[in-house]
Amino acid sequence: MNAPAAGAWPDELHTACGLLRRLQPGDAQALFEGITGDREVTRYLGWRTHETLDQTRNLVSYELARWQRDVARTWVLDLPERRVCGMFQVIGQGPTRQIGFALARRFWGRGLATDAVATLVAVAFTHPSVYRVEAVCDAENDRSSRLLQQAGMKLEARLGRYILHPNLSPQPRDALMHAKVRREE
């Protein structure tokens, strides 16, 4: 991982596996084809699977506006072949940040998402005001839970009826809370 300036949210981060770069409008097609339009990839996400490319374009516009407002940062994971294969996010302000991610199905099981999440956790802790980085996943999403733990986050709790995953149910579902905490120095 390259070392960004302390407290910076860089446009680009080099990981062991690829490049995390700031989301751009031109990424919508690749995201739709590999992530947002794939029912298996979006199964455990907090929004419905996209039926049209325009839905993904709207999502990209929304995320770019959140970057500008300093409430969320969204990067795409580019492999050396310049293939967008994932979307990764740091959300929040104050002492806690939340991590979110989605990876195109054909890239599952290669350690790419684990590497990207670990990189974003490390970058979040370069902010002196950040003391906690957390992520939740559906209680039935064993893959994501293992990934978060491999990225250095501790499984803290099972939260009853905590999160909506509209591709699974219209009602809140149980979630697993994972976190990494900066201890007193």
Q: What is the reported pTM?
A: 0.94
Number of domain units in the chain: 1
- What's the pLDDT score for residue 185? 64
Flag whether 156 is in a domain. Answer: no
Contact (Cβ atoms closer than 8 angstroms) between residue 63 and residue 76? no
Residue 138 inside a domain? The answer is no
pLDDT, residue 118, reads 98
Tens digit of each residue's pLDDT, the chain (185 residues): 555 555 679 999 999 999 999 999 999 999 999 999 999 999 999 999 999 999 999 999 999 999 999 999 999 999 988 789 999 999 999 999 999 999 999 999 999 999 999 999 999 999 999 999 999 999 999 999 999 999 999 999 999 999 999 999 999 999 999 999 998 76
Is 183 part of a structural domain of the chain?
no
CB 118 within 8 A of CB 99: no
Work out the end-to-end distance of the chain between its first and last CA atoms, rounded to an integer number of angstroms: 24
User: In the chain, which residue ranges form alpha helices assigned H by DSSP?
Assistant: 28-31, 39-42, 53-68, 112-124, 142-150
pLDDT of the residue at 184: 73
Position 83 scores a pLDDT of 86
Helices (H) and strands (E) in the chain, counts: 5, 8
Is 22 part of any domain? yes
pLDDT given at position 183: 87
Give the model's pLDDT for residue 6.
59
* Domain ranges, residue 65: 12-130
Is 177 in contact with 159 (CB distance < 8 Å)? yes
Residue keyed to tokens 């990189």: 119
CATH of the domain at 29: 3.40.630.30
